[in-house]
Structure formats: C-alpha cells, structure tokens
Amino acid sequence: VKRGEKRKHPAPPFTTSNLQQEASRKLGFTTAKTMQIAQQLYEGVDIEGRGTLGLISYIRTDSVRLSDEAVAAAREAIAARYGAEYVPEKPNVYKGRKSAQDAHEAIRPANIDLRPEEIKASLTKDQFNLYKLVYLRFVACQMADAIMDTVSSDIVSEGYIFRASGYKVAFPGFTAVYEEST
C-alpha cells in the first residue's frame, strides 16, 4: 500500500480556441455560436439598472496573460467569497505558447464584481451560460491548487499483480469553483 499527496493546478484563463473547445464540451455550442455570443458579451449587454456594459474582455486572443489589476481584483474577490486559504501565496502566472502574439490579454470578465447570478435576468440563457463559463474559469485560474490524498495498493495473486488506486479530496482549492472538461 502506497499513500501520497497529489496537487492539481487550475487551468489557465481562456484563449479564443480554449473558449470554443470548452463551450463545445460543456454547453454544446458550435464555434460560430460561441463567437457570436462572446461578441455580444464583449460589445455590451443592457444590464438592468446599470445601462449597457461590456461584460468580457476582447475575445480574439491567443494569450494567457492577465493584467495586474484583474489579478488583484480576482484575489480580493476569492478571499472575500471563499476565504484566505483559497488564495495562493503568489498570483498564478501562466506561460503562453512561443508562437502566441500576446497582443491582448486572456478572455476574462470585464468586472469581477458582476457575478453571473446577479445579472442573469438581463441576459439570454446562452449569454448567461457563456458569461458564467468565462467568469468561473477566470476566478478558478487565480485560486489555490486542489490537494488530493492518494492511495494505491498492489495485490499479488498467483503470479499476477492487480493494482487498485483512488483518492480523497483533502482541500478542494480551485475545484470548488471550476474544473476543465476533458
């Protein structure tokens, strides 16, 4: 029997292609539908009592870079909503591909204080679902790692080895908010 600990890191914030893939897996959207709705969220939606607001940052990007202000706001929001233990010691920084142009930052909510549930009444179902996806992925990308207690055992019988393994969540970290689909 072997016991251990495994850390799981949060996924980086969305690039255009990651957003399209995740929207397809989680929401069943086509690429065209994802980009059409993302464009609406970027250009602005009439939010009751607040006027027309752009809800997400520029949607055509291959960068995973985030502004210092956005990271600071996310870390503050995470500490307030989930507790200080969910905020990593240092902000999570993600490395992009060498071929990335890095002209625009990653896709993220324009204002971390506009939680999806609070503006749901002003959005269509598809807008709400896509905004929630972007919002939760951004928040999760700045949260602490998830920690799993692992156990595996090898059972030897008549010359054969059978392996059983499993894990228990010791600390949910970012998985309390979001997990990437596969």
Cβ-count burial 152-165 (b if 16+ within 10 Å, e if not)? eeeeeeeeeeeeee
Among residues 42, 58, 167, 178, the one annotated as catalytic is: 58
Reported as a pLDDT band with limits 50, 70 and 90, residue 104 is confident
Reported as a pLDDT band with limits 50, 70 and 90, residue 182 is confident
Residue 97: its pLDDT value, please? 76
Q: Is the pLDDT of residue 99 over 70?
A: no
Annotation says 135 is catalytic: no
Residue with tokens 């870079």: 65
- As a whole number of angstroms, the distance between CA 47 and CA 15 comes to 25
What's the DSSP call for residue 104?
S
Mean of all residue pLDDT scores within the chain: 94
Question: Mapping DSSP to helix (H, G, I), strand (E, B) and coil, where does residue 102 land?
Answer: coil
Task: Look up residue 39 and give its amino acid.
Answer: Q
pLDDT tens per residue, range 4-56: 999 999 999 999 999 999 999 999 999 999 999 999 999 999 999 999 999 99
- Say if pTM beats, i.e. exceeds, 0.85: yes
CA torsion angle 7 12 17 18 (round to 10): 40
Task: Output the CA angle 27-42-126, nearest 5 degrees.
Answer: 25
Mean pLDDT of 132-147: 97
- As a whole number of angstroms, the distance between CA 86 and CA 173 comes to 6
Task: Look up residue 148 and give its amino acid.
Answer: M
Mean pLDDT of 88-112: 87
Quick one: what percent of the chain has pLDDT higher than 70?
98
